[in-house]
Amino acid sequence: MLEHVYLIPILPFVTAFLIVFLGKEGPHSKMPYLGLGVMFWCLLQASCILAQAVSGAATLPYYKTMSWFSFGDFEMTLGVLIDGPAAFVLFVVTLVSFLVQLYSLGYMHGDPRFKRYYAYLSLFTSAMLGLVVSSNLLSLFACWELVGLASYLLIGFWFEKPGPAYASKKAFMTTKLGDCGLYVGLLLLFASQGTFDLQMLQYRVSQDMMPLEVATGVGLGFLFAAMGKSAQIPLFIWLPDAMEGPTPVSALIHAATMVVAGIYLVARTIFIFNAAPLAMGAVAWTGLLTAFFAATMAVTAYDIKRVLAFSTISQLGYMMLGLGVGGYSAALFHLTTHAFFKALLFLGAGSVIHAVHSNDMRDMGELRHKMPVTTITVGIATAAIAGVPFLSGWYSKEAILHAVYAHDPLMWFIAILTAGLTAFYMSRLFWLTFFGKAGDHHKWDHAHESPATMTVPLGILAFLSLLSGIVLDKTGVFARLVNLEGLLRAPGEALGAVAEHAAEHAGEAAEAVGAAAAHAGAHAGHHPPEFLLPGAALFVAFAGILGAWKLYASGDYSLAKSLRERFAPVAETLERRYYFDDFFLWMVDLSDMLARAFFWIDANIIDAVFVDGWAALSRAIASVHNWVDSRIVDGAVDGVGLITQDAGRGLRRLVRGQTQDYLLYAAVSVAVLAVIITTR
């Protein structure tokens, strides 16, 4: 299976075009089953690769390349690099993608563009899978851009509505802004190192062949790209509006594909950040600020999908924070568990929206009586993300918090406060939606549990949200596979014994990274009391859950409303997203205003005065020249010609052809000459 891993991104890519060009469009098209079948095959192949890696049957990292193109002495290769993290991410992406496609059979049933929707899903998944397996940063960049294109198509799938059309453009332009950072980083990297190959770059960094300035510039460029794709502050503004797309798309984007691409990029190139302390610090603080500010914005939101969007932004901030403080395996651990419970939350929200035909949680309430399966599964996901002990989110978030405390207790304090806010707003979502008081009795009367095509994926994801954390943590499988991470090994035979020596040291570095992530509190400079970190996390989790229960579970929202009125300026600031959207829209308006001003200057000063004025002056001078030339110069020339013609005509009268006339002329001429000579 491992030697054919290149098929995992290729098959969905080909399938996307087959779905487009084969079969008929319509709500009853059979072509979506082709996409579902291919994704199931990719899931089986990814599962086999992960099983081989876990059992030791496959030797990781697996590195295979082929010649792509060349110019001069430079040859670009195209290939795959499968290490422990890549094996896990492959499994997560294919699993979530398959469940989303299965879920979409029920959710999107009856849509007139049913076939096109599945073509876009296949293209989207293919691009993300290609990004995961790429062995060099240039092919990764190509897949990175394809992810952006596919997200634009999916977010704006219902493009006839103004909301999705606007959201897709906003997502595309914001992420393209971030992509400029990746582009500049690649240019710097190639100009300095002459290669895009990940293993070769790792080797050059391990040999101190990359200057600090280059590593810092590349790291900051890659971080800026990750800010766009993974919705980090300040480029997070596109993600809440991306909820305008179909809910299964939201689950796919938020759980396992587009938004984790930025996290994966930083993780894939972590050796560059390790060589650039400034860039590494920027990663940590970007993640921390993103996690905190996004969590506060979720507290006042009432759109169920936007609450989950802010939650995604906050959890991505946690992952970025983990990478920035050296908790490499902890961040990837949280990426894995988050994919399960966040996909469950979005698909659960889709089940609710499918039932009540509204996104507003104030229209919901008491749905536990109508939708028991959805209630239980969403409750499990809520508990997992809130950090309830022994669920998946507890283990991965604890690993990050330990790494953060070992790095900086002040950052840990902000992170633990963010964890409390997460527990509060997610519990608020749960109590408002499934308990509380029915906001719209007409919608409540018509609510019903979703079909099996939607509830079966919910059950699978709930099972993973329950057990994935404890299994990966207690068995040590995840930490062991992360320590096989191929980027911490030098290239093989081509570099000979020197590379083998570097690989030995890199293996030691990998073990150190894994140990720091798993036991940061024991091995770092800050040594908290043994009970402090888990005790604090437990306290804030249950404080958030109980606080939300007090305000929203009973159906009496008077206390919540009074708090909203008392802190109205704060609430308005949170609802306006700290005015980030207003700032960017102001920047757009400023750009438009500057463009209009520059157009006026160009049209009325540069063009009118300098260009058109110079042209008018040139025309005036040319007119004068034309008058002088035609009236004086040409007149003089013509005058000489006329005189010559008149003289010729006069002389012709003197010549009659008679000999006596010629003798007379000769005599007169001789007489004149004689007079002239004698008078001198």
Q: What is the pLDDT of residue 501?
A: 36
In terms of Cβ atoms closer than 10 Å to its own Cβ (0-12, 13-18, 19+), residue 113 is: middle
pLDDT category at 401 given cuts 50, 70, 90 is: very high
The answer on pLDDT for 273 being more than 90 is yes
Tokens for 173, please give them: 């332009």
Tokens for 537, please give them: 């996390």
Q: What is the pLDDT of residue 308?
A: 93
Average pLDDT of every residue of the chain: 86
Question: What distance in Å separates the CA atoms of residue 237 and residue 229, rounded to the nearest whole number?
Answer: 11
Q: To the nearest whole percent, how much of the chain has pLDDT over 70?
A: 92
The answer on pLDDT for 553 being more than 60 is yes
Q: What is the pLDDT of residue 527?
A: 63
The answer on pLDDT for 178 being more than 50 is yes
**DSSP bridge partners of 76:** 69
Measured in residues, the chain has a length of: 680
pLDDT category at 495 given cuts 50, 70, 90 is: very low
CB neighbours (10 Å) of residue 460?
18
From residue 391, give the alpha-carbon distance in Å to each of 138, 295, 317, 520.
38, 20, 20, 21
Q: What are the phi and psi torsion angles at 391 (to 5°)? A: -95, 170
Question: What distance in Å separates the CA atoms of residue 355 and residue 32, rounded to the nearest whole number?
Answer: 23
- Of 405 and 531, the structure prediction assigns the larger pLDDT to 405
Query: Are 590 and 598 contacting, i.e. CB atoms less than 8 angstroms apart?
Result: no
The answer on pLDDT for 84 being more than 80 is yes
Residue 555 zone, left/alpha/beta (φ > 0; ψ -120 to 50; rest)? left
Nearest to 260 by CA among 299, 229, 290: 229
- CA 323-377-251 angle, to 5 degrees, is 50
Question: What distance in Å separates the CA atoms of residue 544 and residue 547, rounded to the nearest whole number?
Answer: 5
- Hey, what long-range contacts does 509-515 have (CB within 8 A, 24 or more apart)? 510/482, 510/483, 510/484, 510/485, 511/483, 513/326, 513/328, 513/329, 513/482, 513/483, 513/488, 514/328, 514/329, 514/479, 514/480, 514/482, 514/483
* 3-state helix/strand/coil string of 361-374: HHHCCCHHHCCHHH
CB neighbours (10 Å) of residue 277?
13
The answer on pLDDT for 498 being more than 50 is no
Q: What is the pLDDT of residue 442?
A: 79
Query: Are 367 and 444 contacting, i.e. CB atoms less than 8 angstroms apart?
Result: yes
Q: What is the pLDDT of residue 517?
A: 39
pLDDT per residue as tens digits for the range 99-109: 999 999 888 88
Q: What is the pLDDT of residue 494?
A: 35
Question: What distance in Å separates the CA atoms of residue 136 and residue 487, rounded to the nearest whole number?
Answer: 11
The answer on pLDDT for 340 being more than 60 is yes
Q: What is the DSSP string of 531-544?
A: THHHHHHHHHHHHH
pLDDT per residue as tens digits for the range 196-220: 999 999 999 988 899 999 999 999 9
